[in-house]
Amino acid sequence: MNFNEDPHRRLNILTGEWVKVSPHRTKRPWNGQVEKLPLEKMPEYDPGCYLCPGNERSGGVKNPDYKETFVFNNDFMAILPETEPDTYDNGLLQAKTEQGLCRVICFSPRHDLTLALMEPSDVQRVVKLWISQYQELGAMDFINHVQIFENRGAVMGCSNPHPHGQIWAEREVPDLPAKELENQKTYYDKNGSCLLCDYLEQELSDGSRIVYENEGFAVLVPFWAVWPYETMILPKRHMESIDQLTDKEVIELADAVKTLGIKYDNLFHTRFPYSMGIHQRPTDGGEYPEAHFHFHYYPPLLRSATVKKFMVGYEMLAMPQRDISAETAAKTLRELSNIHFSESEE
Ligand code: H2U
Ligand code: ZN
């Protein structure tokens, strides 16, 4: 099989789902020409932003005059701590209550920054915040899973450019992480080794889908990527959760997050939109030797700062499909500069 010529399907080993790849439709790699507009100017402080220091949020609460990071309980939680476990069983109609809580985490007091534009030490502080939130929320007796994520860019439906992420922590392990854990467990039970450790070893020796690496982490376009520039960040050492990072690995993870952010911004000369998030061990007190902590990045853009991929038609009815191969996307990202376009003099 020729990955560059033959239409084929690839298996997502984490979910068990397949993606169709049609590489013959884009034989020529993308030629790298983008409209080189300067980075859109934004104010360091926006009096109308509900996340900026000192500003009022809905309901009249005032943000503190924070200088580094800031965490608060979401004023419009999608799941609530006071909801008691309950089930509804009416034959084909099945339901369960959902109990949990939602938080918003501001990465910086500066309205105009992103993880890609923040100082390395400030990104390290965000990594440490992810760790402490995972531990603090995970320790609550009704919290068995902590989903940390960031949704950025208007095209992703994000309401505010102020650098921030969210956390939804809950009693039940949600579907996608549960499915990934199940596949990791099946592999672990069968082979006695970690699925993602073995996968990463194969990717590092192949190299064609690696975007960036430092001593502790690898950034890659997974073999089964659906979104054109979808990536994962994986620790090279087996660890089940983010709180197992050493101080050195905190620095290395922050470097991987920032560098990937810079490459993404450089791709189409824009503040690159994406949804990203962390998958790791549930916090129900169980043993999860098969869980390998990792990040997924799902960016919607295809060809420019405004042309996105639509998951419609065949993809909604049948299965996901992509034209540019994971290898081509990885090569493009790998070859992009690690210096943000707004800071280089092209
Ligand atoms: P986005 O990441 O989609 O921009 O959402 C930000 C979150 O901020 C959203 O979940 C919350 C919304 O509920 N929010 C508050 O908690 N307080 C506010 O005053 C406005 C928005
Ligand atoms: Zn702001």
* Domains of the chain from N-terminus onward: 8-344 (3.30.428.10)
Say if residues 300 and 308 touch (Cβ distance below 8 Å): yes
Active site residue 164: yes
Q: Name every residue whose Cβ is closer than 8 Å to that of residue 252 and which is 6 or more positions away in sequence.
A: 214, 215, 216, 217
**Cα 83 from chain centroid (whole Å):** 28
Instruction: Locate 314 and state its tokens.
Output: 């065949």
In DSSP terms, 294 is beta-bridged to 279
Per the listing, tokens 């911004």 go with: 265
Say if residues 273 and 301 touch (Cβ distance below 8 Å): yes
Burial status of residue 44 (CB atoms within 10 A of its CB: 0-12, 13-18, 19 or more) = exposed
Cα(64) to ligand 2 centroid in Å equals 13
C-alpha–C-alpha distance, residues 320 and 9, integer Å: 10
In DSSP terms, 301 is beta-bridged to 308
Scanning 269-325, the segments in alpha helix (DSSP H) are: 314-317
Say if residues 135 and 282 touch (Cβ distance below 8 Å): no
Q: Give the ligand at the shortest distance from the Cα of 74.
A: 1
The three-class DSSP label of residue 72 is strand
Q: Name every residue whose Cβ is closer than 8 Å to that of residue 248 and which is 6 or more positions away in sequence.
A: 215, 216
Q: Name every residue whose Cβ is closer than 8 Å to that of residue 309 and which is 6 or more positions away in sequence.
A: 227, 228, 300, 301, 302, 322
Give CA angle at 313 (309, 317), nearest 5°.
120
Return the C-alpha torsion angle 19, 266, 327, 7, nearest 10. Answer: 50
Q: Sign of the CA dihedral 332, 333, 337, 343?
A: positive
- Please report how the helices 175-191 and 195-206 are oriented relative to each other, as an axis angle in degrees rounded to 10: 80
Ligand 1 atom at shortest distance from the alpha carbon of 59: 19
Question: Which of 57, 73, 103, 104 should be mutated for ligand 1, with most atoms under 8 A from CB?
Answer: 104
C-alpha–C-alpha distance, residues 291 and 243, integer Å: 13
Using DSSP, how many helices (H) and how many strands (E) does the chain show?
Answer: 6, 14
> Ligand 1: which residues within 6 Å by Cβ?
50, 57-58, 74-76, 104, 151, 158-160, 166
pTM of the model: 0.96
Q: Give the ligand at the shortest distance from the Cα of 53.
A: 2
Say if residues 147 and 175 touch (Cβ distance below 8 Å): no
pLDDT tens-place values along the chain, 346 residues long: 999 899 999 999 999 999 999 988 876 555 555 667 778 889 999 999 999 999 999 989 999 999 999 999 999 999 999 999 999 999 999 999 999 999 999 999 999 999 999 999 999 999 999 999 999 999 999 999 999 999 999 888 887 999 999 999 999 999 999 999 999 999 999 999 999 999 999 999 999 999 999 999 999 999 999 999 999 999 999 999 999 999 999 999 999 999 999 999 999 999 999 999 999 999 999 999 999 999 999 999 999 888 899 999 999 999 999 999 999 999 999 999 999 999 985 5
Cα(153) to ligand 1 centroid in Å equals 14
Instruction: Locate 212 and state its tokens.
Output: 């960036």
In DSSP terms, 295 is beta-bridged to 233, 278
Annotated active-site residue in 111, 145, 164, 294: 164
